[in-house]
Structure 1
Amino acid sequence: MPQTDAANLELITQAAWAYYQDGMKQSEIAAMLKVSRASVVNYLAEARARGYVRVTMHPDVFMEHQLGRELADAFNLEQALVVPDGPTPDSSLRRVAKAAADWLPKLLSSGDRLGVSWGQTVYEVAEVASRAPIEGLTVVQLVGSQVTPLGFAAETCSANLARAFQAECVNLHAPLVLSTADLAYQLSREPVIAQQLQAVRHCNKTIFAAGSCSEDSHVVASGVVTQDELRAFRRKGAAAVICGRFIDADGAPIPAEVDERMIGVTLPEMQNKETGLLVASGIDRAAPARAAILGGYVSHFVTDVSTARDLMARA
């Protein structure tokens, strides 16, 4: 297809509107625009590539899936959404993230305060979230900032979701981990940080991922803990990481010195929310997801078929 000029742009938008909004067939659009059907196919592909059109699937379809119902019943969840596996782990993650992004606005209402975690999974959700304005919504960054070579900064996750929902955004303008507990305590008492932490404590809904405790865990890559510290947590029975903090297989917190040096949401503040949306993809996330669910952090769950089946085997 030649480089798009003003005339072609007009044809692209006309074709996209006729196909997706008016429900016209491609052959009908071709006759209307006086072009070939192949040109219409190209126009629609260009509209998707440019982001003019975003195709979504209704999440209710996947919640009615038998595996989703079984998962919700087995783990006493309000709802579980299970999407088909992708051909690769990365594609499965993208499918799960897109499903979560499409479902999330349906779980939110005016006046809600949505706490947003960090990491690749939450970042992927925020990246694909479609524009869905929610009046009176506040989006809150749950953990302080941390330099990460992977680019999944906490402030990016919260800011992207706030932009998609046209919501007020409360970022946490402090590092996640400081060098001493005293420094963390003093910084948390600064008026600006104290006000932001107050917003963290008053979130009624959350979206988060449960990280693994494997050697390539995100908390190691981002410098929250060292490999030696991670091994020490595993010896204590660590099964998952939520917002930089460790829990065991039953969801109980594993306290450690690093907790006193952190600025962000605490584990008790993450429990028993009105809505706790956990997003997980991959067999290595089944055990962390189970720990998060048993610990009372989860009311709603989005995952893929393989992870759901592994969880059912653990039930």
Structure 2
Amino acid sequence: MDLDLALVRAFVATARTLHFGRAAAELNTSQQALSKRIARLEKLLAVRLFERQGGTRLSEAGERFLPAAREALVAGERAIAAVTGAGPVVRIDTWGHLYAPMRTVADAVQELGPVRWEPSPGRDWSSVAGALLRGDTDLGFGRVHPLPDGRDAGLTQRLVRLEPVDAVVSPSHPLAGAHALRPADLRGSVLWCPAELSRLDFLGRFADEFRITRRHDGPNLGLDHLVQHLRTEPDGFTLFPADAPLPDHTRLRCIPLVEPTPLYAWSLAWRESSRHPLLDTLLRGFTEAGRSRRWLDYTPQRDWLPDIDHPKLTVRQAL
């Protein structure tokens, strides 16, 4: 039995969207042509891959076929790249977008030479973990933390950067004139969160650790929305990685935090059972960038990391 990758691609697109029209648009074909490809694949495999009554959903056979189908497409792309000499594409999903994760990836890329990157935004760590497990992406980059019910089982992570965190306040905040602040100094202020606090593991743990009881969260409406609130709330603050860029027009104050300095842990994540052929090269690139830029400096007496991030330091010591 020979699998036609065009048929497999039609199946994977339809499985992702669970909608024949949207899948056809994604593949730049007609819905009729897409349906014919799915029918040919089902005839070839002698199973029904989709249930079509009451909407489109995967059949049991379709659920079993999907992970291997995704891997077949990736293998096909790598085979073509090997022949054309273009090199394999590295698909990387990032999250924590207000903190500009791609600036760290870009610095590491400089150490790697020509690598074809295909970046994509992920909603959060939970959604990127799902994409890694399904084979929809090769790497994830952001802050990794344990997921409920072991949903991240089968994934491996590598700490690549510990970034100091600043307090960001409006010019009218009572502490706006300080050259540095301790986290405890912020207890009388309101922590403004750029999304629902349940999705912001680091901010939640920071607030618990330093007893920041006044917290305000809501939907993620972007950086400008967060900045607007901070400007109009004289007792509000948020946290921002020290090297992450804030637009010049914000007129906000970024104040270093000390005694201790909170560190934001950036990590790479991947599925160990489906390692990208360039993974070891990529890890070396991040390691070299980290050494030259001192990304992994950590002093327990000076710095603060959430307890769940401490195990990541063991891997750091081995680099």
Query: TM-score normalized by structure 1?
Result: 0.28
Structure with more of its chain in helix, by fraction: 1
